[in-house]
């Protein structure tokens, strides 16, 4: 019997049932989910186990690395600087980061870093694992890199490099690392558990990720220049995140402590939901971004197919994925970001809703997203 902790308001009991069904029917191991509506938390659930061998329970205090759900958090940091007039997203990146002007990049605007149009989805010579965790070597490599397409003419998911590109702009403008900026300007006011660069004293609360099963059939070797080959090259930079001993970097404390702001935020469902709720309304008197900022951030930035992710359609605003029929994030004006394996955070301004789901069992995803998260979202909207 799976133990489910937490509570829901009576209207949202179907969400508890859907959360329980994920364990019974969809292979869930440990997870947490929270939902805010109209500034009030209406769902706060957790359940399962941290460690299948010992049965140690997944509790309200458990923290989870959330892969690319991190990108939405990083976007909020940049957008807060924009809202305060400290960052102009239409200004050249080189205004804030002069070294970035190398190799014909002097005119690339900050906007193109946020919407994945810069053509910097990898670097030709990634630094070592240890160097990458130090920040400067990978940032210097990106500053020196020649764009892999004419910036602004294509869109392609910058799976790993997005975080260093946007994070370095945040660092140059604010004078603080993105982890420190996040802590000071967003986490502390909201009183949430959310880190990019997680201190040692929190490591005991972090549950390791359980990798998804590999596909049964091997993938064919792609032709050079094909979308599949581009996707492989984009992920090649993740080789910089491959420890020499071959272990899973995302379960290593040295990566938890580093700042890799595309993929290594550590948090829980409650904190992600509270953050996104604060983007579309006040939470205990706090609103993280104003309506005008959200309106600007959720304008579709391009209509290109994704050149890196095998031609898949995608809709991006300024750092956020925007809801679509292919990848719903709540209602039609929903925005947020999902992470590899299943985690997701999003906001829906029409419903004044913030949603956060995190888990330790990663699953292979196809189509519109993770089946567990989709089932939970469906139950939430049926309860509204």
Cα separation, 123 vs 148, whole angstroms: 9
Which tokens belong to 89?
């997203």
Structural contact between residues 302 and 320, judged by C-beta atoms closer than 8 angstroms: no
Active-site option among 32, 68, 174, 278: 68
* Run of H or E including 63: strand 63-65
172 C-beta neighbours (distance < 10 Å), count? 16
Cα separation, 259 vs 254, whole angstroms: 10
DSSP letter assigned to residue 298 = T
- Cβ neighbours of residue 383 closer than 8 Å, sequence gap 6 or more: 11, 12, 13, 14, 15
**Residue 239 burial (10 A CB sphere; 0-12, 13-18, 19+):** middle
DSSP letter assigned to residue 106 = T
68 is annotated as an active-site residue: yes
Residue 294, Cα to own-chain centre: how many angstroms?
Answer: 17
Query: At residue 347, what are phi and psi to the nearest 5 degrees?
Result: -125, 150
Which tokens belong to 271?
């904190």
**Residue 233 burial (10 A CB sphere; 0-12, 13-18, 19+):** middle
Which amino acids are annotated catalytic? Answer: 68
């Amino acid at each position: 019997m799976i133990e489910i902790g937490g509570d829901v308001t009576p209207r949202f009991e179907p969400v508890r049932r859907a959360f329980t069904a994920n364990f019974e029917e969809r292979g869930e191991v440990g997870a947490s989910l929270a939902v805010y509506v109209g500034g009030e938390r209406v769902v706060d659930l957790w359940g399962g186990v941290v460690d299948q061998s010992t049965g140690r329970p997944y509790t309200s205090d458990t923290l989870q690395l959330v892969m690319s759900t991190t990108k939405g958090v990083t976007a909020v940091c940049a957008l807060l600087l924009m809202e305060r007039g400290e960052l102009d997203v239409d200004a050249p990146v080189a205004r804030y980061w002069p070294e970035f002007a190398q190799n014909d990049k002097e005119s690339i605007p900050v906007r193109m870093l946020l919407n994945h149009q810069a053509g910097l989805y990898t670097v030709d010579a990634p630094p070592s694992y240890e160097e990458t965790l130090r920040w400067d070597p990978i940032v210097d490599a990106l500053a020196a890199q020649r764009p892999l397409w004419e910036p602004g003419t294509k869109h392609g998911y910058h799976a790993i490099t997005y975080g260093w590109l946007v994070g370095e702009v945040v660092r140059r403008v604010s004078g603080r690392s993105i982890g420190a900026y996040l802590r000071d300007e967003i986490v502390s006011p909201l009183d949430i558990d959310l880190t990019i660069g997680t201190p040692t004293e929190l490591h005991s609360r972090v549950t390791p990720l359980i990798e998804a099963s590999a596909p049964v059939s091997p993938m064919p070797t792609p032709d050079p220049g094909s979308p599949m080959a581009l996707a492989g090259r984009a992920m090649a930079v993740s080789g910089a995140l491959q420890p020499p001993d071959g272990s899973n970097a995302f379960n290593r404390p040295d990566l938890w402590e580093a700042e890799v702001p595309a993929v290594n935020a550590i948090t829980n469902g409650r904190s992600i939901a509270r953050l996104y709720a604060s983007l579309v309304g006040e939470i205990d008197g706090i609103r993280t971004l104003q309506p005008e900022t959200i309106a600007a951030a959720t304008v579709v930035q391009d209509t290109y197919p994704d050149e890196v992710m095998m031609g898949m359609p995608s809709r991006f605003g300024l750092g956020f994925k925007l809801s679509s029929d292919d990848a719903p994030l709540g209602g039609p004006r929903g925005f947020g970001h999902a992470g590899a394996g299943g985690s997701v955070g999003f906001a829906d301004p029409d419903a004044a809703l913030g949603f956060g789901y995190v888990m330790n069992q990663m699953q292979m995803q196809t189509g519109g997203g993770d089946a567990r998260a989709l089932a939970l979202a469906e139950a939430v909207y049926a309860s509204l």
